[in-house]
Amino acid sequence: MYHPSVIEREQATVEQRTATRLTRYDQDYSWAVEEHLGTTPRSLSKDELAFVKNERLLSSLDFRYWSRYAWLLPDAAVSEGNLVRYTPWDSQELLMDCLAKRELEQYDAYLRKEPQDGNLMAVPKARAEGASLHAAMIKMHRTCTNPYTIGITASENGEKRTSLYQRDMRIWERLPWWLRPERTEPDRINERMTFGKLDCALLYEDYAQKSSLAAGEQYLVGHMSEVAQGDQTYIEKLMELDYFPAIPQSWRACHILESTPAGMGGYWHPFIMDAARGKGRWRVKFIPWYATGFKYRRTAPADWSPSQHALEHARKVEETSPGYMGRVIVLTRDQLYWWETTREEYRSKGNLVYFLTNYPATLQESFQFSGTSIFDIETLDYYNTLTRNPGGCYEIT
């Protein structure tokens, strides 16, 4: 569904089972036929039926192929408010690459008849990097195309649960009528979508509810949003005792936890650090503030020169970005101006810790100490920026 090798092998299996040769149409051709087929269900010719069957099968096998038909309300930074076709941001591509690599590992374990953990990704991130939107696409793809799929999604409270539901509804409503599964009972606003002919369902819950989370089912796909928010003791119970045991040990299982970190302590911080060390079923993908290049920039005046602190930050980004982005990132002048001026806005109001948590450049920077310290946050941040990875380990005898 995500890795090319897995998709290729699964496609070959489907072609052999159905005695069908699937065709990967050019994207523009697919869109042209989509327009030709119209927006209202109608009788189809033999050729049209063949096209629809082809697209349904390929879409069930290949997330990227299905996503060409998705329409979204994009980020306000790049839109006038109109719906646009889904085009992943750099930050979403980072997440997609990690999911693809993990899927391949789990799929190969399945072929070797070994136990699988599933494709479980925890995503600590800077603000508004598109992780929640991408997770919505993942779960809508699975529940709209793959029979016998039960999914679950949850967020901090009822209001945010509604936002997740409305986003998913928008994706479903704008799919072509021949890719949009019929909604059937039971179907309840903000609680459940059911696609009865596929025997699929998507449940909506929140961390404020007093009942257990993900009770009574096994969920092949899931998305938990803003895990670091709310009552962390209660959320730990919901995750560790309710949700995680409901995730099957299958290569087909794909679940995403994502949150802007909310400081040290609580549940999210130690969970992420343990997962980053390879403990448990989950893997970690950190998304830094600069991952999406079109956001977080401000036109720098011609006479502006970056402060020493800003230059040190830019240097740290160059050194650490290969580990997060897969390549060296050199901040643009406008990005650095945004970072320096926005940081100063937070600092001048005594909110520097919130700036560092919301717009971190490294995983360590995202988890700020919120207790009492003999050093102020500016001093701690200054020396943290100056730190570098050790060049090596030596023994003096």
pLDDT tens for 71-80 read: 987 665 555 6
Residues 192-230 have pLDDT tens digits of 999 999 999 999 999 999 889 998 899 999 999 999 998
The pTM score is 0.90
Mean pLDDT (the chain) is 92
Residues 330-382 have pLDDT tens digits of 999 999 999 999 999 999 999 999 999 999 999 999 886 454 443 445 554 54
> Which residues belong to CATH 3.40.50.300 in the chain?
4-284
pLDDT of residue 130: 93
Please tell me which residue, 391 or 149, carries the higher pLDDT value. Answer: 149
pLDDT band at 83 (very low <50, low <70, confident <90, very high): confident
Domain 4-284: give its CATH superfamily: P-loop containing nucleotide triphosphate hydrolases (3.40.50.300)
Query: In this structure, what token pair is assigned to residue 186?
Result: 């039971």
pLDDT band at 262 (very low <50, low <70, confident <90, very high): confident
Is residue 394 pLDDT above 80, yes or no?
no
Residues 31-50 have pLDDT tens digits of 999 999 999 999 999 999 99
**Whole-angstrom distance, CA of residue 284 vs CA of residue 274:** 10
β-pairing verdict for 254-259 and 84-85: unpaired
Within 13 Å and on the Cβ side, how many CA atoms surround 118? 23
Residues 270-293 have pLDDT tens digits of 999 999 999 999 999 999 999 998
The average pLDDT across 80-96 equals: 90
